[in-house]
Amino acid sequence: MTDFTLISDDQWRQRLSPQEYHVLRQAGTEPPNVGEYTNTTTEGIYSCRACGAELFRSDQKFDSHCGWPSFFSPLAGESIIERTDSSHGMTRTEIICANCESHLGHVFAGEGYDTPTDLRYCINSISLKLSPTE
């Protein structure tokens, strides 16, 4: 099994496209309403595009109209790490993959969505890979 935390920056650049590298390894954000999973309703498992770790299920996805795929809960609490992000003049909670420490997006609480958790995991499509279920 690969220890993704030992992969060098140059190795990540070789594994990922420039756009994937920017978001996953440099904590970038893709533009809203352009990601391949923003509006998809395909059933399946969403995994980390960098390492393949399973992160979210399609039945936890909801339409938040924010421009990025939104989920109300991760697949398992230990699949993600939350940390404080004070960039861009605000404080948010960043979400990274627990397996490879790649940037996924941010989580927001208390926005009033009709979901079981009152959380919105706002995730960059480019950080995910969907494996459809049959």
Positive or negative, the CA dihedral 131, 16, 51, 30 is negative
Catalytic residue numbers?
122
- Give the residue among 5, 31, 26 at the shortest CA–CA distance from 85: 26
Domains of the chain (ranges; CATH) run: 4-132 (2.170.150.20)
pLDDT band at 119 (very low <50, low <70, confident <90, very high): very high
Least confident among 67-81, 96-110, 117-131 = 67-81
Compute how many other C-beta atoms are within 10 angstroms of the C-beta atom of residue 34: 11
Mean pLDDT taken over the chain = 93
Model pTM above 0.75: yes
Letter string b/e over residues 67-102, b meaning 16 or more CB atoms within 10 A of that residue's CB = ebbbbbbbbeeebbeeeebeeeeeebebbbbbbbbb
pLDDT band at 121 (very low <50, low <70, confident <90, very high): very high
Give the integer Cα–Cα distance in Å for 27 and 114.
Answer: 28
The model's pLDDT over 60-93, given as tens digits with 9 standing for 90+, comes to: 999 999 999 999 998 767 899 999 888 878 888 9
The model's pLDDT over 3-35, given as tens digits with 9 standing for 90+, comes to: 887 899 999 999 999 999 999 999 999 999 999
